[in-house]
Amino acid sequence: MNARNMPIDVQTQAKIDLSAALRSASRMGLGEGVCNHFSLAVPGTDDRFYINPQGFHWSEVTPDDIVTVDVAGKVVAGRHTVEPTAFFIHSRIHRGNAKARCVLHTHMPFATALTLLELGRLEPVSQTAMKFYGKVAYDDQYNGLALDDAEGDRMMKCLGDASVLFLANHGVIVTGESVAYAFDDLYYLERACMAQVLAASTGKRLRQIERSVAETTVRQMDADRTQSTLHFESLKRLLDRDDAGWRGV
């Protein structure tokens, strides 16, 4: 049995998965410099979460670099610091939304482009967009950097029961029950936004999908999330193939 096939405890696996999400997002061009952040509730807890460290490009993060933070903002494990806005955004969402075990925040290009439009919305115009029908919330007020609990709480309230939040003039937050589910949604959200922006750039009217069809389609997609898990597992295989050392020691 080689090292990759050895049994791994759930907390180590969680750090591996979070690192895989960061590296895969970087390979897809979804990151921005050393900004933006991904977090995951520590398995078996409801008051601590893992998050990527400050000052690291997503393409270089390994499981050993992941930082553990408590809800008071204290680093309880890890050798690095955490970027301040990362704490205020992620801690308040983890604390206020039990379903948001994984929280992904990016400034990915096409989704962010929609946040720059007056009342920009993800329109029900593509099959990919159906994945998010009825699951998206919008924060239409830009308040500058999220540097206090109040701003984090405001974002959390805007998110509500949705799993995706578009932040005006800023970017997006995608949440999920697992890294695999959240990352799959993040990827397809950007693809849906890209298709919409490209279609809108023609100047022609977007073809809307009827509400009843949209409601049926999202139910069909939600009925089985196996494809989301398979997608994420395939991304880890690609990292194993192309990015030796990404799993750390």
The model's pLDDT over 216-236, given as tens digits with 9 standing for 90+, comes to 999 999 999 999 999 999 999
Location of structure tokens 């830009």:
142
pTM, full prediction = 0.95
At 164 the pLDDT is: 98
Angle at 227 between CA 50 and CA 195, to 5 degrees: 90
- In this structure, are residues 53 and 78 in contact, taking their beta carbons and an 8 Å threshold? yes
State yes or no: pLDDT of 108 exceeds 90: yes
Q: How many CA atoms lie within 13 A of 55 on its CB side?
A: 4
Q: Is there a contact between 49 and 41 (Cβ–Cβ < 8 Å)?
A: yes
Instruction: Please tell me the predicted confidence (pLDDT) of residue 154.
Output: 95
CB 215, CB 134: distance < 8 Å:
yes
CB neighbourhood size of 29 (10 A): 10
pLDDT band for position 32 (50/70/90)? very high
3-state secondary structure 148-183: CHHHHHHHHHHHCCCCEEEECCCEEEEEECCHHHHH
Provide the pLDDT for residue 5: 53
Q: Which of 25-34, 70-79, 117-126, 169-178 has the lowest mean pLDDT?
A: 70-79
